[in-house]
Amino acid sequence: MQIRHSHVILDTCFLINFSASGHLIEILQSIPARVFVTETVREKELLTLPNLKDEENAIQFHQAIEQKILLVVDFESEAEEELFVNYAYEIGDDGESATGAIATDDKKATSVFKREAPHLQILSTLEIVKSWSEKINLSPSELRILLSDIRVKGRYQPPKNHPLLSWWENVMK
């Protein structure tokens, strides 16, 4: 996986999926860029989600922030906030709107950002997990368990048109 940007902003679904894998910190550390989450995602979504109420996931999430593996950013101007509100209205979800610029699995957010900001690279959960698993040479059985956890605990299923769907299906056999 090649990232063309120095910064990657993750949305809620990424953090849920990475937490579900049990390897949040390791996966975040494998991303070859500075990794951010917006204050909107941290405060309004992640801290209220059942997935992060699990003590282990909450600890990993907070450790990632404390260790500055995951940085929290907020809007710096009224113009940024207005842009966010417009995207939120069109997409229908605050978390995807605040972070959809680079890393989202949300179909609607992806569509809006491809149209409105075609210069941005959009990453998927599978791209990042595949890259990480190859870097650490994860065994096929460990990878199957990890993807199973993401599917069940994170409630993630790649869309039928995802470029890595065949990789997912082969691992899950």
Q: Output the domain CATH number for residue 70.
A: 3.40.50
For residue range 92-129, list pLDDT tens digits in order.
Answer: 554 444 443 356 777 877 787 778 777 777 889 999 99
Average pLDDT, the chain: 80
Residue 19 inside a domain? The answer is: yes
CA distance 164 to 18: 17
pLDDT for 37 equals 85
pTM: 0.78
For residue range 56-73, list pLDDT tens digits in order.
Answer: 777 888 889 999 999 888
Residue 89 inside a domain? The answer is: yes
* Six token digits for residue 28: 């975040």
Residue 45 inside a domain? The answer is: yes
117-121, long-range: CB < 8 A, 24+ apart? 120/5, 121/3, 121/4, 121/5
Residue 62 inside a domain? The answer is: yes
How many distinct structural domains can be found in the chain? 1
In terms of pLDDT, which residue wins out, 161 or 5? 161
* Six token digits for residue 97: 């709107």
Residue 2 inside a domain? The answer is: no
pLDDT for 97 equals 44
Residue 142 inside a domain? The answer is: yes
Residue 30 inside a domain? The answer is: yes
Confidence of residue 25 (pLDDT cuts 50, 70, 90): very high
What does 88-106 look like in DSSP terms, one character per residue?
Answer: HHHHS-HHHHHHTTTB---
For residue range 30-40, list pLDDT tens digits in order.
Answer: 998 888 888 87
pLDDT at 84 over 70: no
CA distance 84 to 64: 25
Residue 111: give the domain boundaries.
7-172
